[in-house]
Amino acid sequence: MQKDELLRKVIKKKTRFVVITGGVCSSLGKGVLVSSIGVLLKNSGYSVSVVKWDPYLNVDPGTMSPLVHGEVFVTDDGAETDLDLGHYERFLNIHLDKTSSVSSGQIFKEILDGEREGKYLGKDIQFVPHVVDAIKNRLLNFAIDKNVDFVLVEIGGTVGDMEGIAFLEAVRQLKMDLADRQLMLCHLSLVPFLSWANELKTKPTQHSVILLKKAGLMPDSLFLRSDRKVGEKSKEKLSIMCGVHKDLIFESLTWEPVYKLFLDLQQQDVNKRIQNWFSIKKSKKADLSKWKKLIKKIEKEKEKITIGLIAKYVGSNDPYLSVIKALESACYANGYDVDIQVIDAQKIEKENLKKGTDIYEQVKKLQGLIIPGGFDKRGIVGKILAAKYARENKIPYLGLCLGMQVMLIEYAQSVLKITDASSTEFNKSTKNPIISLLEEQAEIVKKGGTMRLGKFPCTIIPETLAYKAYKKKEVWERHRHRYEFNNAYKKTFEKSGVVFSGIYKKKDLVEISELKNHPFMLGCQFHPEFLSTPLKPHPLFNEFIRAILAKKS
C-alpha cells in the first residue's frame, strides 16, 4: 500500500498516537511511563497497543548479551524483543507481536534487501525519504492492522543520540502528515536534585528540549523524572523556557511499588488532559480499583519467602526481569513478600557447595530455588550442584528452560549413574546426550532467530503437579531455545521416578518434567515468566510458591 493511501486510512480511522521520547540520560523509565499511560487509557475504556522504536543496528536483541541489553522478551509469534515489551504486556494485559518491535537494523535491512531486488528502480537511496518513509510506513501499517483507539510509541535511547535522528524525523513528518491533534509528542526528561545546592535543576530538561527543537519538534507535553516533587515554580519556568503549556507538564516520580505511578498520574489528571488534547469531548476516568487492591496487598506488612535465583548473568537484575516480576506477583497473590537472592552459579561451582563455605550457608537458608534460562556452558556445573541440593534436601525447585535441562542432567548423573550425562550444547562429544539438538537444528550456523521461538501447545498429563497448577489439559507457552530432551532416554527416566507431565504432541517433545516423591521439583522447557502479570500470576509460579508455603507450615 502506498504512503498516501496509508495516511488516508489512518486519518479516516482517527487512530491517535502518543509518542514518548527521553531526555538528558537513559534508564529514565520510558517503558514504565508508556505502560502507565496505557493503563490509564485502557482502563478508561479505550483500546491500546504499543510500538517500541529502537535505534540500535541489531536486527533484534536476540544475539545481545543480557548484561548488555537486559532480558530478551519473546512474543507469541516468536519475536525476540526489548524488555520494555514485557512492561507493556504485563501492565496492559495484552499480547504483542513482532510488529511492536522495530529497530534501525530492521529498517536498514528492509531497505538494502529491497535495493538488491531492484525495488528502487535505480534511484540513490537516502535517509530522507527512504529510511524515514520505511519507519513511517511501519507505524501506519501497524495502526491499520491493530485498529485500536491509541497507539503508544516509545523511542529508545536519548534525544541527541546520533542513531535516533531518523526516528525523530519520522515523528516530525507524521506531525505534518496526519490530521491536526492526531499525534501527541511527550518528552520524559530528568530533573536532578543537587544536594550541595539543595535545589532541583530544570536546565538539563531545557537543553534536552532544545535538542528536540533542533530536530524540528516541539513537545506537546513534558514528564519530569525526579525522586522528589518538582513543584509549581519549576513547572512554570519550564513552561516559559520550553514553550509547553503548564497544564501539560507532569511529574513522573519514583514509586514503590511502581504501580503507584498509575495512581499518581491519575491524580495529576494526565488521563483527562491527554484526552482533552486529542479533542475527545467527554473524557473518561480510569478504573484503577484492581491496581489499588494489588497495592494494598503489597504494602500490607507480611512475612517474606526467601528464594534463590541461580544466575550466570550477575551484576544487573535486568537479564531476569520477567522471572523476578513473576515471583513477586505469585508471592503477593499468596499473601507474602519475597526476598530474591541472586546467586552466582560460578561461585557455587568454585566453592563446590561444600558445607562450611559461605555459599553453602547462603543456599542453606533458601526456602525455594529457581534456575532460569541461559546459554552456553559457563556456570553450568554450579547450576547442576544447586539442582542436586534442591533434590536431595526436598527444597521446592522451579527450572525454566535451561533450568529443566539442568534438572534432568543432574538426575541422570546422580540417580541414574550416567556420570557423563550432558547436553551437546556443553559437550559436543558426550556419549550420553540427555539434551541434544533436533535434527533440523543440527546444520544451522546463524544464531539470530533460529531457535524454537514463540508460542507452542503443551498437553498436560492428568494427576501431575503440572495439572494441579494449570487445571487444564492443554496450554500454550512461549519458547526460546535450541536444545531438547533426548527421547532415547525417556523410558529410563520414567522407570526411575521422573514424570514427563507436559508434551508437545506434534513432535513428541518434552515440555514439562517433574520428580515423584518431592514436594515440588518441576522444570519446563518454555518460559512461563513471559505470560505472568501483576494481576494474574502464572500458574507454575503460583504452585511453586504454594509448595514453599506448604513445606514451611
* Residue corresponding to grid cell 503549556: 245
Lowest mean pLDDT segment, chosen from 116-125, 378-387, 482-491, 513-522: 116-125
Task: For residues 324 and 310, give the distance between their C-alpha atoms in angstroms, rounded to a whole number.
Answer: 12
Is residue 470 within 8 A of residue 459, CB to CB? The reply is: no
Lowest mean pLDDT segment, chosen from 167-176, 197-206, 214-223, 389-398: 197-206
Q: What is the pLDDT of residue 252?
A: 96
Lowest mean pLDDT segment, chosen from 378-387, 399-408, 442-451: 442-451
Band of pLDDT at residue 193, cut at 50, 70 and 90: confident
Rounded to the nearest 10 degrees, the angle between the axes of helix 321-333 and helix 289-299 is 90
Judge whether residue 524 has pLDDT over 70: yes
| Residue bearing the bigger pLDDT, 444 or 424 | 424
Q: What is the pLDDT of residue 449?
A: 47
Give me the phi and psi of 215, to 5 degrees please: -85, 5
Average of per-residue pLDDT across 305-327? 91
Is residue 515 within 8 A of residue 521, CB to CB? The reply is: yes
Q: What is the pLDDT of residue 440?
A: 56
Average of per-residue pLDDT across 282-308? 95
Q: What is the pLDDT of residue 439?
A: 64
Task: Mention the CATH class of domain 301-552.
Answer: alpha beta
Contacts of 361 (CB under 8 A, 6+ apart): none
Residues annotated as part of the active site: 401, 527, 529
Which residue spans within 101-170 are E strands per DSSP?
101-103, 150-155
Q: What is the pLDDT of residue 120?
A: 85
Average of per-residue pLDDT across 263-274? 96
Sequence ranges of the chain with CATH classification 3.40.50.300: 3-293
| Residue bearing the bigger pLDDT, 1 or 465 | 465
Q: What is the pLDDT of residue 274?
A: 97
Judge whether residue 296 has pLDDT over 80: yes
Pairing of strands 193-194, 199-200: antiparallel
Q: What is the pLDDT of residue 443?
A: 53
Is residue 252 within 8 A of residue 29, CB to CB? The reply is: yes
Task: For residues 144 and 313, give the distance between their C-alpha atoms in angstroms, rounded to a whole number.
Answer: 40
The model's pLDDT over 67-83, given as tens digits with 9 standing for 90+, comes to 777 899 999 999 999 99
Q: What is the pLDDT of residue 44?
A: 97
DSSP three-state, residue 528: helix
Q: What is the pLDDT of residue 198?
A: 86
Lowest mean pLDDT segment, chosen from 98-102, 342-346, 374-378, 404-408: 374-378
Band of pLDDT at residue 445, cut at 50, 70 and 90: very low
Q: Is the previous residue joined to 129 through a cis bond, with omega within 30 degrees of 0?
A: yes
| Residue bearing the bigger pLDDT, 521 or 116 | 521
* Residue corresponding to grid cell 535516533: 164
Radius of gyration of the chain (CA): 25
Give the residues across from 343 on adjacent strands: 310
- CA distances 524 to 499, 504, 514, Å, are 12, 12, 9
Task: For residues 505 and 500, give the distance between their C-alpha atoms in angstroms, rounded to a whole number.
Answer: 12
Average of per-residue pLDDT across 217-233? 95
Contacts of 431 (CB under 8 A, 6+ apart): 420
Tell me the range of 26-30, 147-151, 225-229 where mean pLDDT is highest: 147-151
Is residue 522 within 8 A of residue 514, CB to CB? The reply is: yes
Q: What is the pLDDT of residue 442?
A: 52
Note the pTM of the prediction, 2 decimals: 0.93
* Residue corresponding to grid cell 558445607: 355
Mean pLDDT rounded to a whole number for the chain: 93
CATH architecture of the domain with range 3-293: 3-Layer(aba) Sandwich (3.40)
Q: What is the pLDDT of residue 450?
A: 63
Average of per-residue pLDDT across 449-460? 87
The model's pLDDT over 338-382, given as tens digits with 9 standing for 90+, comes to 999 999 999 999 998 888 889 999 999 999 999 999 888 889 999
Sequence ranges of the chain with CATH classification 3.40.50.880: 301-552
Task: For residues 155 and 165, give the distance between their C-alpha atoms in angstroms, rounded to a whole number.
Answer: 11
Q: Closest Cα partner for 479 from 444, 440, 441, 526?
A: 526
Average of per-residue pLDDT across 506-519? 96
Judge whether residue 3 has pLDDT over 80: no
